[in-house]
């Protein structure tokens, strides 16, 4: 039913002018925020325990740590230390990290502002049992107490890094507050404020031992200065992180009134505050403005004359779902809610959100989250519109003409038109994003061989995978942001089951997903919303959808749709993300009545929409770029595409095609 089998001859008329074959340039990566948690109380951080459980922990400013189990949609309490917390403004429970051996020793660490005097407390806690499901408030052991002269610039982030086999705790401390560091603390090596600190906490369980020791190679050990100091000259490094691949420390240091900066922090570095704000001399100490004496930012941005006010440091992306390019640094601005990317030595705006971004977060798989102080945690996911040949996150009207092997594409980005010779009569179009650049690649399947052109560098590839009678079902089954070459093979007398055969782009490994019976229709999609395509089939005789969830391997069965022995009486499967929740919705088009039936994954309600007539070909895509699938049909009798924009429910139409053309994307009868 769905995908790539064109057993209907399309009689359509082309009404387009001159042709162009100009090369297309990919636009910047497109992301969206997928809902993860809501209803939280001033969340400040999302993190993980690196213990293999895939749990996500959320720090609430008032003093409660929440935990979310894999697959859950709600959070429960992990530990409540509200009675110890002075919360409000830049104070509160500000940081959380887990010992690298947490899975076996149960130790975790927090950074909070103490009720009463407002001092910064770095403390160790332990879980209540070996299962590590709950933190024990009574297990507190204080490592550091740092007096705060003012209410602001408390820093907050703490994190472990293993240095030469030693598990060291890093602590980012602000300069103590007020404006322009009136106590000149950030440059004073005998003060812990305005610094990065590095200590080795005791996790022996013997509380008669010192709570921590200082690494011998800290820069001020055995010389003038506090032994805990790792680097100096910070204003307020509220949010920072380690690149999980390179182990580099990337810090977002909040500026005074002019410059927000990102630094890579190294042992013994002086990062300039209060002498420099970014790479600009502050004139607080003009005689000291000697650039060679300080480490310059990796990059910075100005906030003078703009609504931007405070950088929220983020993470270098190392996830496997291809949300953004690997190695790109993701960060934001608290006041504007803008999310930025630093990649290839350039800054760019990724997304403008309505959030006050208090933090970013990283789960155990390296996927990133955005924490909104108003009570939300959302996942960063890539936008992947089908048939997006120009990379603007909108589906383009396009056809493949078997008679001459030419692809004709109307780019939604600028309404330009192009033609590309690729393929021949009998080829099955198989467009997908094979190179992971967020642009659909032109591709065909021919007698068990895949031919495609990588949009990222315009190179040609050919891959032997499958047999002549297979149905191509390319999609991202391994969640690396690239389409995997895949075929669906119907069973036979000797092999009665149907199978997906998948060539994973992430590692080149082959995988097989089997269905016990024969002659189903493949309906792949991301039904569980984990960023990986699920192998799924629609059962002809019963109308059952059988979905094997990539997240846990379980099978879901949903009865939806009508199958008749007469093809004109059968539904056509039209799955897509119609409700915009990041999950594929089960859906069908009923040609006999021209009605679409959609089972929304967000709430399982069923929508019925009258749109189309018998003989129309459904062509589901995101034509308006709102991250929701639009209902659309191609009418062979007139060569016109009709669509309903999900963004504003307006109906549109465009003539595009010619007798014998194949619309992309298309859903068709088996």
Look at residues 539, 525, 636 and name the one whose alpha carbon lies nearest to residue 574.
Answer: 525
Average pLDDT over residues 349-374: 96
- Determine the straight-line distance between the first and last CA of the chain, rounded to whole angstroms: 5
| Selection from 368, 336, 330 nearest residue 355 by Cα | 336
The yes-or-no verdict on residue 25 having pLDDT over 60 is: no
Neighbouring residues of 80: CB distance < 8 A, sequence distance ≥ 6: 63, 64, 65, 137
- The Cα 17–Cα 417 span in angstroms is 9
Across 390-399, average pLDDT: 91
Range scoring the smallest mean pLDDT among 12-26, 61-75, 207-221: 12-26
Q: With H, G, I as helix, E, B as strand and everything else as coil, classify residue 74.
A: coil
Measure the CA–CA gap between 244 and 320, rounded to whole angstroms.
13
Say if CB 651 and CB 666 are below 8 A apart: no
What percentage of the chain reaches a pLDDT higher than 90?
79
Beta strand 368-372 with 357-362 is antiparallel
Residue 609 CA from chain centroid, whole number: 32
Q: What is the pLDDT of residue 19?
A: 28
**Segment holding 31, helix H or strand E:** strand 31-37
How far is Cα 669 from Cα 617, in angstroms, rounded to an integer?
A: 9
Q: Is the peptide bond before 540 cis (omega within 30 degrees of 0)?
A: no
From the centroid of its chain, how far is CA 106? Answer: 29
Residue owning tokens 């690729």: 422
Rounded Cα distance between 626 and 459, Å, is 31
Q: Does residue 99 carry a pLDDT above 90?
A: yes
Most confidently modeled range among 5-14, 330-339, 659-668: 330-339
- Check if the beta carbon of residue 218 is closer than 8 Å to that of residue 229: yes
Q: What is the mean pLDDT of residues 455-464?
A: 95
pLDDT for the residue numbered 159: 98
Residue ranges in 268-357 assigned as alpha helix (H): none
d(CA 257, CA 309): 7
User: Whole-number mean pLDDT of the chain?
Assistant: 91
Number of Cβ within 10 Å of residue 57's Cβ equals 23
Residue scoring higher pLDDT (222 or 657): 222
Judging by DSSP bridges, how do beta strands 443-446 and 449-453 pair with one another?
antiparallel
Question: Residue 14: its pLDDT value, please?
Answer: 28
In this predicted structure, what is the pLDDT of residue 23? 28
What mean pLDDT is predicted for residues 512-531?
89
Is the pLDDT at 26 greater than 50? The verdict is no
> Which H or E run includes 212?
strand 212-213
Q: Where are the alpha helices (DSSP H) in 348-412?
A: none
Find the range with the poorest average confidence among 259-263, 308-312, 479-483, 654-658.
Answer: 479-483
* 3-state percent helix, strand, coil for the chain, nearest multiple of 5: 0, 40, 55
Name the residue with tokens 């005074």.
Answer: 256
pLDDT band of 567, cuts 50, 70, 90: low
Q: Are 611 and 593 in contact (CB under 8 A)?
A: no
d(CA 631, CA 6): 20
What is the Cα–Cα distance from 497 to 512, expressed in whole angstroms?
Answer: 12
CB 139 within 8 A of CB 160: no
For the stretch 603-640, pLDDT in tens is 889 999 999 999 899 999 999 988 889 999 999 888 89
Strands (E), 344-455: 346-352, 357-362, 368-372, 376-382, 397-401, 406-410, 417-421, 428-429, 443-446, 449-453
pLDDT for 315 beyond 80: yes
Rounded to an integer, the average pLDDT of 462-490 is 94
Secondary structure element (H or E) that encloses residue 103, with its range: helix 102-105
Given a cut of 60, whether residue 124 has pLDDT beyond it is yes
The DSSP output letter for 585 is B
The verdict on whether omega for the bond into residue 274 sits within 30 degrees of 0, i.e. cis, is yes
Q: How buried is residue 26: exposed, middle or buried, by Cβ count under 10 Å (0-12/13-18/19+)?
A: middle
Nearest CA-CA partner of 52 in 70, 39, 64: 70
Residues in the chain: 670
**DSSP 8-state code for residue 24:** -
Is residue 13's pLDDT more than 80? no
- CA distances for 525 relative to 3, 111, 521, 582, 586, angstroms: 11, 42, 13, 11, 9
Is the pLDDT higher at 142 or at 23? 142
Instruction: Report the pLDDT value the prediction gives residue 9, as an integer from 0 to 100.
Output: 26
CB atoms within 10 A of CB 25: 10
Q: Do 58 and 68 contact (CB within 8 A), yes or no?
A: yes
What is the average pLDDT across 508-534? 90
What pLDDT is attached to residue 464?
A: 98
In the block, tokens 């240095």 appear at 163
Q: How confident is the model at residue 436 (pLDDT cuts 50, 70, 90)?
A: confident
Residue with tokens 């640094």: 329
pLDDT confidence tier of residue 321, bands split at 50, 70 and 90: confident
Quote the percentage of the chain above a pLDDT of 70. 95
Q: DSSP of 110-127, one letter per residue?
A: EEEEBTTT--EEEEEEEE
User: Please, which pLDDT band fits residue 71 given cuts at 50, 70 and 90?
Assistant: confident
User: What count of other Cβ atoms lies within 10 Å of the Cβ of residue 216?
Assistant: 10
- pLDDT at 292 exceeding the cut of 50: yes
* Cα radius of gyration (the chain): 28
pLDDT the model gives residue 194 = 98
| 272-288 confidence digits (pLDDT tens) | 999 999 999 999 999 99
pLDDT band with cut points at 50, 70 and 90 for residue 320: confident
Residue-by-residue DSSP string for 224-269:
SS-TTEEEE--S---EEEE-TTT--EEEEE--SSSEEEEEEE-TT-
pLDDT at residue 29 greater than cutoff 80:
no
Helix (H) or strand (E) holding 618: strand 617-618
Confidence of residue 247 (pLDDT cuts 50, 70, 90): very high
The span from the CA of 361 to the CA of 377, in Å, is: 9
566 pLDDT tier (thresholds 50, 70, 90) = low
Q: What is the largest CA-CA distance in the chain?
A: 88
């Amino acid at each position: 039913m769905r995908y790539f089998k064109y057993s209907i001859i399309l009689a359509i008329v082309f009404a387009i002018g001159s042709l162009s074959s100009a090369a297309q340039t990919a636009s910047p990566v497109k992301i969206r925020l997928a809902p993860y948690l809501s209803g939280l109380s001033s969340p400040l951080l999302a993190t993980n325990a690196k213990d293999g459980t895939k749990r996500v922990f959320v720090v609430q400013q008032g003093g409660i740590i929440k935990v979310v189990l894999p697959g859950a949609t709600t959070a429960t309490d992990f530990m409540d230390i509200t009675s110890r917390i002075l919360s409000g403004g830049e104070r509160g429970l500000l940081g959380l990290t887990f010992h690298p051996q947490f899975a076996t020793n149960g130790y975790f660490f927090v950074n909070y502002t103490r009720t009463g005097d407002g001092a910064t407390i770095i403390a160790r806690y332990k879980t209540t049992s070996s299962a590590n499901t709950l933190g024990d408030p009574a297990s507190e052991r204080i490592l550091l107490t740092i007096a705060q002269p003012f209410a602001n610039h408390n820093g907050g982030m703490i994190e472990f890094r293993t240095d030469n086999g030693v598990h060291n705790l890093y602590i980012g401390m602000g300069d103590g507050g007020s404006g322009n560091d009136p106590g000149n603390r950030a440059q004073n090596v005998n003060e812990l404020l305005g610094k990065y600190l590095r200590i080795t906490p005791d996790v022996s369980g013997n509380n008669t031992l010192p709570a921590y020791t200082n690494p011998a190679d800290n820069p001020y050990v055995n010389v003038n200065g506090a032994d805990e100091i790792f680097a100096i000259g910070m204003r307020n490094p509220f949010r920072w992180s380690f690149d999980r691949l390179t182990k580099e420390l990337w810090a977002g240091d909040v500026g005074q009134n002019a410059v927000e900066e990102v630094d890579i922090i190294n042992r013994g570095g002086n990062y300039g505050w209060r002498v420099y704000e970014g790479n600009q001399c502050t004139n607080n100490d003009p005689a000291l403005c000697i650039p060679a004496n300080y480490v310059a930012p990796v990059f910075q941005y100005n906030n003078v004359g703009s609504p931007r006010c405070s950088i929220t440091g983020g993470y270098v992306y190392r996830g496997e779902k291809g949300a953004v390019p690997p190695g790109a640094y993701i960060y934001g601005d608290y006041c504007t809610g803008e999310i930025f990317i630093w990649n290839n030595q350039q800054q760019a705006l990724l997304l403008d959100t309505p959030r006050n971004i208090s933090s970013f977060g990283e789960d155990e798989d390296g996927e990133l989250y955005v924490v909104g102080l108003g009570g939300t945690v959302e996942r960063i996911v890539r936008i992947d519109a089908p048939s997006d040949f120009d990379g603007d996150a909108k589906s383009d009207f396009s056809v493949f003409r078997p008679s001459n092997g030419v692809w004709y594409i109307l780019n939604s980005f600028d309404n330009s038109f192009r033609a590309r010779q690729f393929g021949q009569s009998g080829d099955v179009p198989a467009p997908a994003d094979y190179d992971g650049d967020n642009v659909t690649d032109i591709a065909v399947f021919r007698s068990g061989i895949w031919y495609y052109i990588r949009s990222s560098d315009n190179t040609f590839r050919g891959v032997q995978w499958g047999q002549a009678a297979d149905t191509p079902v390319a999609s991202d089954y391994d969640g690396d942001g690239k389409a995997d070459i895949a075929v669906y093979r119907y069973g036979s007398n000797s092999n009665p089951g149907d199978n997906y055969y998948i060539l994973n782009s992430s590692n080149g490994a082959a995988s097989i997903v089997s269905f016990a019976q024969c002659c189903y229709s493949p309906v792949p999609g991301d039904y569980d919303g984990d960023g990986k395509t699920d192998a799924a089939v629609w059962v002809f005789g019963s109308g059952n959808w059988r979905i094997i969830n990539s997240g846990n391997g379980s099978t879901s069965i949903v009865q939806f749709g009508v199958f008749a022995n007469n093809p004109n009486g059968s539904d056509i499967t039209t799955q897509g993300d119609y409700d915009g929740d990041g999950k594929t919705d089960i859906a069908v088009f009923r040609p006999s009545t021209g009605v679409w039936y959609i089972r929304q994954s967000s709430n399982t309600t069923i929508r019925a929409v009258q749109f189309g007539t018998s003989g129309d070909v459904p062509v589901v895509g995101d034509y308006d770029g709102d991250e929701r699938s639009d209902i659309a049909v191609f009418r062979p009798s007139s060569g016109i595409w009709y669509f309903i924009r999900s963004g504003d429910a307006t109906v549109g139409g465009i003539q595009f095609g010619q007798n014998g053309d194949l619309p992309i994307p298309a859903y068709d009868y088996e």
